[in-house]
Amino acid sequence: MSQLFTPYALGPLKLANRIAIAPMCQYSADDGLATDWHMIHLGQLALSGAGLLMTEATAVSPEGRISAWDLGLWSDAHQAALAPVVQAIRKYSSMPLAVQLGHAGRKASSQRPWEGGASVPPSQGGWQTVAPSAVPHAAGEHPPLALDAAGLRKVKDDFVAAARRVHALGIEGIELHGAHGYLLHQFLSPLSNQRTDEYGGSLENRMRFPLEVLRAVRAAVPESVCVGMRISASDWVQGGWDIEQSVAFARELQQAGAHFIHVSSGGVSPLQQIPLGPGYQIHFARRIKHATGLPTIGVGLVTEAEHAESIVAQEDADVVALARAMLYDPRWPWHAAARLGAQVQAPPQYWRSQPRELKDLFGSTRLGQR
C-alpha cells in the first residue's frame, strides 16, 4: 500500500494524501490584487488530486512585496479580489487551501525573475525596504531601514490583519514565510541580523520576533485554522543559520502552537553554496521531524513518484511538497497514483479520462464511464 497516498492531519487540517503543492510566486497581481491568472493557475492545481494547495507568498503590506506584481492581502479590497478564486475552487474541489503570508524585508522591491530579479531602488521606481538591520542583501543595493519598535509593531499587526482575512475567506490554513531570506528569516540569521537589542545577538533573541508573529497570528484566528511556518534550515554559508538552530527553533514553534513546519533552505545571502540535487533538503526535514515530532513538510527537487513515496515511507517527512514539478505536470498526483498502485480524487468531468488499464485509479468515481 502506498504511504504517499495515506491520509494525514496537520493539526486540524485533514489531508487526503501526503502531497502538498508548495507556494510558487507568480508575479501576476495588479497592485496586490488577484487577477484572472490566479483563477486559472490555482484552479487547475485544485483539480490535481494533491492533499493540500498553498498559495504563493502573499504580502501582508505593500512594502513587504518581493516585487510590484506580488499577490497581497493587506486590505479588504485584496480579500474581495481573492474571494472569487476561493469560491470557484470550493465549487469544484474538496482540496484544503492554505495561504502563505510573507514580508520580503530587505529583499523587497525587486524586478520579476524573467526581468532579471534585480533590486529596484526608490530612485528607479522601487520603494524603501525594511529589515532587522540596515544591511543590504547584496553589495551595492540600496540599504534597508532597521525596524524600530513602531516598525516591529506594524509588521506584527500586518500579519495579524492578513491572517484574519485568510480566515474570513474560509481558507483552512496559514503558512508564515520564515524562509528564503525574507523578513522573518532575516531576524533568525546572524548574517542579516546585527541588532544589539532584545531581537538580536543570541539565538533566543534572534528567534524572538518570528515567534512573536507566530503567537500573534495563532491568537488571531480560531483553533480550527491550521498555522505553521516555512523555514530555511540552513543558510549554506559558514557562520550563518544552520540545522542545529533550526531544530531549536522548531521546538519553540511547537511550544508556540504551530501545527507544522515546512523545511526549505537558503536565500539569505548571495554567498550561499547549495549542493543541488533530488531531495537535497530532505535530510533537514528528517532531522527536525525526528528531533521534535512536529509534523514536517519536506521539499526540494522531488520530481519522481517513487522518490516521494520513499520520503514518506522512510519517515523522512510527513508530507512531501512539490513546486516546479507541479507546474510542469499539473496532474502529477494522478500519475504518481498510477505508478504506485494507489487511488486519487478527480472531478467527475474527468472520470472518462481514466485509462482502461488503470480502471481503479479514481476509485469509486468511475460511475458514468463508457
Range from 63-77, 176-190, 326-340, 350-364 carrying the lowest mean pLDDT = 350-364
Evaluated on CA atoms 159, 162, 163, 164, the torsion sign reads positive
332 has a pLDDT exceeding 60: yes
Tell me, what's the pLDDT at 295?
98
Residues 219-278: tens digit of each pLDDT:
999 999 999 999 999 999 999 999 999 999 999 999 999 999 999 999 999 999 999 999
Cα–Cα dist 178/262, whole Å: 9
DSSP 202-240: SHHHHHHHHHHHHHHHHHHS-TTSEEEEEEES--SSTTS
Question: Is 182 part of the annotated catalytic residue set?
Answer: yes
Residues 345, 94 contacting (CB under 8 angstroms) = yes
Tell me, what's the pLDDT at 363?
75
370 has a pLDDT exceeding 70: no
Tell me, what's the pLDDT at 369?
36
Cα–Cα dist 227/213, whole Å: 11
Residue of 182, 199, 280, 350 marked active site: 182
Tell me, what's the pLDDT at 33?
98
Mean pLDDT calculated for residue range 128-146: 97
pLDDT band at 365 (very low <50, low <70, confident <90, very high): very low
205 has a pLDDT exceeding 70: yes
Residues 264, 276 contacting (CB under 8 angstroms) = no
Residues 144, 105 contacting (CB under 8 angstroms) = yes
364 has a pLDDT exceeding 60: no
Residues 26-60: tens digit of each pLDDT:
999 999 999 999 999 999 999 999 999 999 999 99
Residues 207-216: tens digit of each pLDDT:
999 999 999 9
Tell me, what's the pLDDT at 367?
36
The fraction of the chain above a pLDDT of 90, given in percent, is: 97
Query: In the CATH hierarchy, which fold is given to the domain comprising 8-330?
Result: TIM Barrel (3.20.20)
Tell me, what's the pLDDT at 366?
40
Q: Which cell numbers hold the place of 104?
A: 520580503
Nearest one of 314, 303, 309, 299 to 341, comparing CA atoms: 309
Strands 13-15 and 8-10: antiparallel
339: helix, strand or coil: helix
CA–centroid distance for 190 within its chain:
22
Domain boundaries, the chain: 8-330
Tell me, what's the pLDDT at 151?
98
Tell me, what's the pLDDT at 202?
98
Residues 146-182: tens digit of each pLDDT:
999 999 999 999 999 999 999 999 999 999 999 999 9
